[in-house]
């Protein structure tokens, strides 16, 4: 293999290799080239997305730590803070779904742990191709097994998430994992190595093997027929070691034994050491010969870029090193002093005391930046066309509703989340299945809520509007349980940034998200970018997943989506202007993805959510559910099924009935309140538009003249098991 073939095989371009020559003033050896390869990958270096990410607001009254560390941190009150982040494990999950998903969970747990926080909640956001495909069913089943297998064993509850299916994700599933950790505000840890006379670098956790070598580079390539050959690039997780790593790390921090702490994820020791050195303005020397190995014959370059799981890197003062090693051994972890902090500013790799590679840490941590061309996608013109006169009204509205409730995008996720332990730790107040999960903080009245949201179809048809809508939906979902939305993390899943239309999608989604964050006052405090999500068949839908966190002053005063009493008034809050553009109904019933979805009115969205949240805090509203996929009819059915109580409703006058029933309208929330409290609700809502549309009771869902369906029939359609689905005749579920 000649020189160009060597660096090209490592994912480096000609221009990047020339820059390396310029920075070093010499040719790099293979080890040094490997360091640049992983650190300058899109996965680690964000070289295509960094110019756009600066658009996000990052500061807020509650923000203790914004982007740039392992996770963002917000203050929640009474001396408590939350650390949280979301990351992707898409490509690994495409070729090895169980381990890809499991190690995605393990990796995001360690990001939060590296801030000094105890992981207390996990969420996920998943996308797959249609379940008619045996391959897609396999990926779906194994990813869910991997998430449950790791999260359940490590002892962190999985409390929420979302799953969607679309042809665009066939062959390239999305597996985004989110973790929230709890920490005292004064105890936040930063991954910054500090110069101290003889400060040592300690590696502790599992032994190092060959799994995950060049995994960061693999995650920055498009998937193709040869991707299956990259199974060795997928790490292997050990949740029991992960549990010991959590307890050991927290014990070491509690005893004040660590100067800095960093998890080992993408690019392994190379990434963690160079980032700590660059942030601290120092150098770090690593002796690969001192790293405990589980495989014989590993080359030094393999050792420093291995992505073996369940490992942490710490900077320790010399007099405390022995105690650190003893505590790690007590937790049945392997620990070793593998290097030291120096003042030369370089990441130096040694082997048995002899230097075999050296690169300035700041060069590794500063990948080149590309500002790509943007071109509006050619498909827009045709895809955005929607003539309602060409869309026939349903012959039977009840059949249409049942078909939608049974579809994989709208049916119950119970068969998924029942595989996850959502209550370990006994702090889960609102379990999976609601608009957002609610957790308590022991010893206080305070709670927090968290949700993940994105609508890829909306972003496909209108990237800027879809990006804003993703943030708005998360804001709305937190408000529906009574939480004040505070900040968010994100995972930006897109195709190749080297294609101008894909880069346009990324840039527009970021702009829409940023605009929404500014209006809602929800800064972006952490996140992840996953690009090159495409196969020979094309790119995924643009999917900017949002993970938002909110705070409840009183965790006991929250709302749920299920109807709770007979005789309650049903009130639709918001400016109800439903549209079929980009709707679930249009795709499920009519087989079309088309139209131009209405752009979110962010000020109205905020006013509606804030008003409902205040009504929940005042104890007026105990039942709330947002209008999302499937529109008003599906929201009513979900509330009735969840509470086991029927309802009778009327449609607001004007327009087509199928649009009113199944059209989608952002910024709307359906609430149920006792008739005697309607006056209080109206006063709480103030000038926010709202309409009483019916009342709860009985065992049927009735919408005058259109629907009259028993709860049992609704439940049978909605509660179908996603894992028992077959490829149906005719190609559609229902």
Backbone angles phi, psi at 323, to 5 degrees: -65, -35
Of the residues 43, 214, 407, 625, only one is catalytic, namely 43
- Beta-strand ranges (E) seen in 317-413 are 334-342, 346-351, 354-360
- DSSP code, position 560: B
Measure Cα distances from 149 to 141, 152, 172, 427 in Å: 12, 6, 22, 20
- Count the Cβ atoms, other than its own, within 10 Å of residue 362: 16
Question: Is 43 marked active-site?
Answer: yes
> 585-595: b or e for each residue (b if 16 or more CB lie within 10 Å)?
bbbbbbebbbb
Using alpha carbons, select from 198, 193, 208, 204 the residue that is nearest to residue 300.
208
Residue where the block lists tokens 């960094």 = 50
> 674-690: b or e for each residue (b if 16 or more CB lie within 10 Å)?
eeebeebbbebbeebeb
Give the C-alpha separation, 371 to 349, whole Å. 33
- Beta-strand ranges (E) seen in 352-415 are 354-360
Backbone angles phi, psi at 224, to 5 degrees: -150, -170
In this structure, what is the dihedral angle of CA atoms 207, 210, 211, 212, given to the nearest 10 degrees? 110
Measure Cα distances from 179 to 87, 151, 234, 635, 716 in Å: 9, 11, 21, 28, 33
Name beta bridge partners: 74: 63, 82
Using alpha carbons, select from 71, 276, 97 the residue that is nearest to residue 188.
71
Name beta bridge partners: 482: none
List CB contacts of 198: < 8 A, sequence separation 6 or more: 318, 340
Question: Is 89 marked active-site?
Answer: yes
Give the C-alpha separation, 291 to 209, whole Å. 10
- Pairing mode of beta strands 700-703, 647-649: parallel
CB 157 within 8 A of CB 428: yes
CB 453 within 8 A of CB 123: no
Of the residues 89, 91, 214, 363, only one is catalytic, namely 89
Catalytic residue ranges: 43, 89
């Amino acid at each position: 293999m000649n020189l160009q073939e060597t660096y090209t095989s490592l994912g480096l371009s000609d221009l990047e290799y020339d820059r390396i020559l310029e920075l070093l003033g010499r040719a790099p050896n293979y080890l040094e080239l490997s360091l640049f390869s992983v650190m300058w990958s899109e996965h680690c270096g964000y070289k295509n997305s960094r110019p756009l990410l600066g658009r996000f607001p990052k500061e807020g009254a509650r923000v203790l730590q914004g982007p740039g560390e392992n996770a963002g941190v917000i203050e929640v009150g009474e001396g408590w803070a939350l650390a949280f982040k979301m990351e992707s494990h898409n490509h690994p999950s495409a070729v090895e779904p169980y381990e890809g998903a499991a190690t995605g969970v393990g990796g995001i747990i360690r990001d939060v742990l590296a801030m000094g926080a105890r992981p207390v909640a996990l969420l996920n956001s998943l996308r797959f191709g249609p379940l008619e495909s045996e391959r897609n069913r396999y990926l779906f089943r194994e990813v869910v097994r991997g998430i449950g297998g790791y999260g359940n064993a490590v002892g962190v509850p999985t409390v929420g998430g979302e799953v969607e299916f679309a042809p665009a994700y066939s062959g390239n599933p999305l597996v985004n994992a989110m973790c929230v950790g709890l920490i005292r505000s004064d105890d936040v840890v930063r991954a910054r190595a500090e110069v101290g006379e003889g400060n040592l670098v300690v590696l502790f956790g599992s032994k190092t093997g060959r799994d995950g070598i060049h995994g960061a580079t693999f995650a920055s390539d498009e998937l193709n027929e040869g991707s299956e050959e990259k199974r060795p690039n997928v790490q292997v997780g050990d949740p029991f070691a992960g549990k010991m790593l959590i307890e050991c790390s927290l014990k070491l921090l509690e005893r004040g034994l660590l100067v800095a702490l960093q998890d080992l994820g993408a690019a392994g020791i190379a990434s963690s050491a160079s980032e700590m050195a660059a942030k601290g303005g120092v150098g770090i020397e690593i002796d690969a010969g001192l790293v405990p190995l589980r495989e014989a014959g590993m080359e030094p370059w393999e050792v420093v870029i291995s992505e073996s799981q369940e490992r942490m890197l710490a900077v320790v003062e010399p007099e405390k090193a022995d105690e650190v090693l003893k505590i790690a051994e007590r937790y049945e972890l392997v620990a070793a002093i593998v290097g030291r902090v120096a003042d030369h500013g370089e990441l130096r790799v040694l082997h048995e005391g002899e230097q075999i590679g050296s690169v300035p840490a700041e060069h590794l941590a500063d990948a080149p930046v590309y500002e790509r061309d943007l071109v509006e996608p050619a498909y827009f013109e045709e895809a955005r066309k929607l003539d309602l006169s060409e869309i026939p009204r349903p012959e039977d509205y009840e059949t249409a509703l049942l078909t939608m409730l049974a579809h994989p995008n709208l049916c119950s996720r119970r068969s998924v989340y029942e595989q996850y332990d959502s209550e370990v730790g006994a702090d889960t107040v609102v379990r999976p299945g609601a608009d957002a999960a609610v957790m308590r903080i022991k010893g206080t009245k305070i709670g927090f809520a968290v949700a993940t949201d994105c609508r890829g179809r909306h972003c496909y048809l209108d990237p800027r509007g879809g990006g804003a809508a993703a943030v708005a939906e998360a804001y709305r979902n937190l408000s529906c349980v009574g939480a004040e939305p505070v900040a968010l993390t994100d995972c930006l899943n897109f195709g190749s940034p080297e294609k101008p239309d894909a880069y346009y999608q990324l840039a527009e989604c970021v702009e829409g998200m940023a605009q929404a964050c500014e209006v809602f006052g929800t800064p972006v405090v952490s996140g992840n970018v996953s690009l090159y999500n495409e196969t020979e068949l094309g790119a995924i839908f643009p999917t900017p997943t949002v993970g938002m966190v909110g705070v409840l002053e009183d965790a006991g005063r929250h709302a749920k989506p299920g109807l709770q009493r007979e005789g309650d008034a049903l009130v639709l809050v918001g400016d109800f202007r439903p549209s079929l553009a980009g709707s679930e109904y249009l795709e499920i019933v009519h087989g079309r993805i088309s139209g131009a979805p209405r752009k979110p009115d962010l000020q109205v969205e905020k006013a509606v959510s804030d008003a409902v949240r205040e009504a929940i805090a005042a104890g007026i509203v105990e039942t709330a559910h947002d209008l999302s996929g499937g529109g008003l009819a599906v929201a009513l059915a979900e509330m009735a099924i969840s509470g086991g109580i029927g309802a009778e409703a009327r449609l607001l006058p004007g327009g087509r009935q199928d649009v009113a029933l199944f059209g989608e309208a952002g910024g709307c929330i359906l609430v149920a309140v006792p008739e005697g409290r309607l006056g209080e609700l109206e006063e709480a809502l103030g000038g926010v538009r709202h309409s009483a549309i019916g009342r709860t009771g009985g065992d049927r869902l009735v919408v005058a003249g259109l629907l009259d369906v028993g709860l049992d029939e609704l439940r049978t359609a909605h509660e179908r098991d996603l894992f028992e689905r077959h490829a149906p005749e005719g190609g559609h579920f229902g």
